[in-house]
Amino acid sequence: MASLTVEIFDPLCEPSNVLAYNVAYLNAQEVWKILVDAWSLGFSVPNRQWRLIHHTDIPKQENDFDCGVLSIMYMIHLGYHERINDNEIPAAYRLPRSSENMAEELDCEKGNWTARNHSLRVNLDHSLSCLKEKDEMIQDLKQKLDKLEASYMTKNDALQIEVQSLEQELQAAKQEISDLKTKHQAPTGDCPSFEELQDIIKNVLLAVNNIATNLEGCIESKIVDLEDKITSHLAAEDTQHQELAEKYEKLRTHIRNALGDTED
């Protein structure tokens, strides 16, 4: 047997109303029984068992003019949940247990919510404006960082060119030593005397020593100069990177503070 439910939401909830609902319920059952018997003569009609639920744990009116307001609010609540004032119902639609003037109280609550929403909107717009400014600052810092990186790459390329130049000079010095050795080789004809051979060896050793001394001093000077340039460049880069890191940390702290004020 199918079952149907009749639920009553009465903002007055007076005892006389409950009695009237019970009488109406009994009469409706009798009418339904008569209709079922009449309809069953021509075709099969399922019988139904009706249940009456009279809700008393609902917000009530304290006057004789809030019944319409409460009836509308009941329907809004039932659109969200099967119970009145359930947690799933938005707070703006919640009803007090009782009120001397429900319509006026709801209007007041609506005004409060409108004021809160306006305040939240103002705070949100301010936060968005702050975030936009911070985003512009971040973009500016990014551009400065890109320029700094480009400058670093340029200086690095210049250092590499200077190192290559030193390597070429070293290679040229090696070639010069090789040429001197070839120049002072013994002739292929008659063998030189022992004294001539000694003079040749002395001259070669003296030339090689002079070339090595000059080359060592030149290379050492260039290496020291190059080390000084690299050290100065790295120190400048560390200082700039430290400044960027401090600015970025201040920016993050400012944004977090701004977001924290918005949430409050």
Position 234, amino acid: L
* pLDDT reported for residue 192: 62
pTM: 0.35
For residue 222, what are the contacts with CB-CB under 8 A and spacing of at least 6?
Answer: 162, 166
Lowest mean pLDDT among 3-17, 31-45, 53-67, 132-146: 31-45
Mean pLDDT over 113-123 rounds to 81
Residues 164, 47 share a domain: no
The mean predicted confidence, pLDDT, of the chain is 76
Number of structural domains the chain divides into = 2
Residues 183, 96 share a domain: no
Give the pLDDT band of residue 122 (cuts 50, 70, 90): confident
Mean pLDDT over 200-218 rounds to 75
The domain in which residue 139 lies consists of: 126-263
* pLDDT at residue 215 greater than cutoff 80: no
Mean pLDDT over 148-171 rounds to 82
Q: Which of 94, 119, 144 is the last residue of a domain?
A: 119
Position 247, amino acid: K
Distance CA 244, CA 148 (A): 11
* pLDDT at residue 1 greater than cutoff 50: no
Q: Which of 119, 139, 158 is the last residue of a domain?
A: 119
Residues 194, 240 share a domain: yes
Give the pLDDT band of residue 43 (cuts 50, 70, 90): low
Residues 255, 137 share a domain: yes
For residue 50, what are the contacts with CB-CB under 8 A and spacing of at least 6?
Answer: 3, 4, 5, 6, 25, 28, 29, 32
